[in-house]
Amino acid sequence: MPSITTRALLEMKEKGERIVALTCYDALFARLLDATGVDILLVGDSLNQVLAGAPSTLSATLEQMIYHTTMVRRGTEHALVVCDMPFLTYQVSPEQALTNCGRAMKDSGCHAVKLEGGQTMAPTVRRLVEVGIPVMGHIGLTPQSVHALGGYRVQGRDEATAERLKADAAALQDAGAFAIVLELVPAALASQISKALTIPTIGIGAGPACDGQVLVLHDMLGLNDQFSAKFVKKYAALAEDVREAARVYAAEVREGRYPGPEHSFGK
């Protein structure tokens, strides 16, 4: 059992304590992040872009997600580990979702799953919660629907869409979701939704009023320096550090300076 549970997250919202979440895809980073007290490690299907170099999240597979979530669980003792369910593993029917989400939890050891979608997904969320599968919702910009949404654009700027997002959030809460990711939503709207709910909201590009924040780890660390977005703050510039380390290593190997005596074994 992790130190951070779904109940603990609800209590954090009640107390006004901010929730810290980051994406994570392997055991090494999981150990590093878990040691800092990060509350949620989200094994996002963003790994399909960040690690696999795909143009979107759409081709991520259930096997991929289980594999990476298993690694993250091996490196985690404190944080709540959430597995992002990939495209078309839960949208067909509640029973399909039950089978695939159950498999993800059983095989990876994750503590919860994340599904994209609002009111239309509420019956599926309810079915999962009924059998004991904790569900994190995700509304606003939902990357698995990027083509239907017309690209990666802020959602909820017009009144009709804003009202729909409010209804989506309420429906997910009523269905039993323990938290909801709000992605690329105007800050004022995200604030309204957060105040209206008793469950926590986790923002990404949704302003400061959400109950918590999540970023893609490689963006936050400045490892993915080919990507930039208004909502991303880079807390390090590791891409250049990696390149410089590799340049120095290559030079020392070519010049015969590495390995030196201190890196070599005697008899």
Query: pLDDT tens digits, the chain, 267 residues: what are they?
Result: 678 999 999 999 999 999 999 999 999 999 999 999 999 999 999 999 999 999 999 999 999 999 999 999 999 999 999 999 999 999 999 999 999 999 999 999 999 999 999 999 999 999 999 999 999 999 999 988 887 777 888 999 999 999 999 999 999 999 999 999 999 999 999 999 999 999 999 999 999 999 999 999 999 999 998 888 899 999 999 999 999 999 999 999 999 999 999 999 998
Evaluate whether residue 94 is within a structural domain.
yes
Q: Is 130 a catalytic residue?
A: no
Q: Yes or no: say if 89 and 95 are a contact pair by the CB < 8 Å rule.
A: no
CATH number at residue 117: 3.20.20.60
Evaluate whether residue 123 is within a structural domain.
yes
Q: Note the pLDDT of residue 147.
A: 75
Evaluate whether residue 220 is within a structural domain.
yes
Evaluate whether residue 207 is within a structural domain.
yes
Number of structural domains found in the chain: 1
**Residue from 183, 240, 244, 262 carrying the catalytic annotation:** 183
DSSP letter for each residue of 108-157 = H--SEEE--BSGGGHHHHHHHHHTT--EEEEEES-GGGTTTTTSS-----
Q: Note the pLDDT of residue 1.
A: 65
Two structure tokens written together for 152: 């990666």
SS3 category, 84: strand
Contacts of 65 (CB under 8 A, 6+ apart): 43, 45, 47, 83, 84, 85, 86, 104, 108
DSSP letter at 58 equals: T
Q: Quote the domain boundaries for residue 21.
A: 6-237
For the chain, the helix, strand and coil percentages under 3-state DSSP, each to the nearest 5: 45, 15, 40
DSSP letter at 228 equals: -
Count of CB atoms within 10 A of residue 48's CB? 23
Evaluate whether residue 191 is within a structural domain.
yes
Evaluate whether residue 88 is within a structural domain.
yes
Evaluate whether residue 251 is within a structural domain.
no
Q: Note the pLDDT of residue 166.
A: 98
Evaluate whether residue 255 is within a structural domain.
no
- Note the pTM of the prediction, 2 decimals: 0.95
